[in-house]
Structure 1
């Protein structure tokens, strides 16, 4: 399988980076081909210019390359922190520029104007890892876990990915080394479960 892995955290020594490293290693151990992108390290430009909005707009080479990669991917792994109930702006910009009409989705022709989406991505599964400094119960009861809705309903299902798995690790800021090691073991296990070794 060909798996696209997207990381969005500005600090190279972050726990997000550790999660991404574990996920990439697990995928490769399972025999998968991995395309890994650290958006901050690559200085990905998150600004969507007006002339890219149209479906058939000419795209900069780096945007076209990302689009081709996500269209070809059999699976998607995303790693990012929870900032204000949202992904970091650089990842939101990646979503805006890469999960574009004609690549990730189109709208059903002949509808009554309600914009019924048809997902175009061939990926069969997505795995999203988040980190937070909010306790899980408070995240759910007070904020409603907006990232769950965002990734499952607003992005992955919309773009045609049928299986969406997600894990929020919290509270990171007060976690011990032992807790972090256990979380990394869990991330490794989840990655192998969602994307098991190829049978071929």
Structure 2
């Protein structure tokens, strides 16, 4: 199947990049076709121009390509750090420009949203330096709400799972290896069904 993987972290060699490499390797082991974008490496333009706001407005060819890939994807994996309880601006810009009305969702005549994404499974991998008791009990886990309720559920995704690895700034090499193994096992858990079905065919 076709899995779309989006990474947003500006520093090459970051732990987010290590997560992305693990995700890509695991997906290929499972015989999936992978569409991969490192938004900072590609210098993706996150600024939404006014002409793209309307569903029938003029859309940049690069954004059209991203939209087509999103439409064709059977699954989605997002990777980024937790910055101020939000994704980096680059990722937010990708969301603004690619998760478009008519592509990711539409509205009924009564104004009710209907999700349009073909891919019904989405994973989000985040890194953070905020202790869990603060992130959840004080801040209310804003990234969980953003990706779960506000984005993927809105766009028609049925199975959503998110992992947060923390606190990265004080983590040891052994701890990071354990996290990467957890990344692998999480991808296998949510995307190994295709390989199993293929073997049974």
Q: TM-score, normalised by structure 2?
A: 0.96
Separation (CA, whole Å) in 2 of partners of 1:59 and 1:84: 30
Task: Provide runs of 4+ in structure 1 moved above 4 Å.
Answer: none
Aligned to 2:125: 129
CA deviation after TM superposition for structure 1 residue 108, in Å = 1.4
2:181 corresponds to: 185
Deviation at 1:58, TM superposition (A): 2.1
User: Which of residues 99, 106, 115 is equivalent to 1:119?
Assistant: 115
- Give the distance between the partners of 2:147 and 2:59, measured in 1 at CA: 25
Q: Size of the alignment, in residue pairs?
A: 196
Matches within 5 A, 1:13-24: 13-24=13-24
The equivalent of 1:154 in structure 2 is: 150
Corresponding residue for residue 70 of structure 1: 70
The answer for the alignment partner of 2:160 in structure 1 is: 164
* Corresponding residue for residue 144 of structure 1: 140
2:170 to 168, 171, 174: 174
Task: Give the structure 2 partner of residue 4 of structure 1.
Answer: 4
Three-state SS of the structure 2 residue aligned to 1:17 is: helix
Task: Note the residue ranges of structure 2 that are not aligned, 5 or more in a row.
Answer: none
Deviation at 1:56, TM superposition (A): 1.2
State how far apart, in whole Å, the 2-side matches of 1:34 and 1:174 are. 32
Query: 1:124-176 CA distances to partner (integer Å, 9 max, x unpaired)?
Result: 10000000001112110111110000000000000001110000000000000
Secondary structure of the 1:133 match is coil
Alpha-carbon distance between aligned partners in 2 of 1:81 and 1:171, rounded to the nearest angstrom:
11
Q: 1:160 & 1:21 partners in 2: Cα distance? A: 27
Once residues 151 and 108 of structure 1 are traced to their aligned partners in structure 2, the CA distance between those partners, rounded to angstroms, is 23
Corresponding position of 1:59: 59
1:62-114 deviation digits (Å, cap 9, x = unpaired): 100000000000000000000000000000000000000000000112x1xxx
Query: What do you get for the CA RMSD once the two structures are aligned?
Result: 0.7
Unaligned runs of 5+ in 1: none
Equivalent position of 2:82 in the other structure? 82
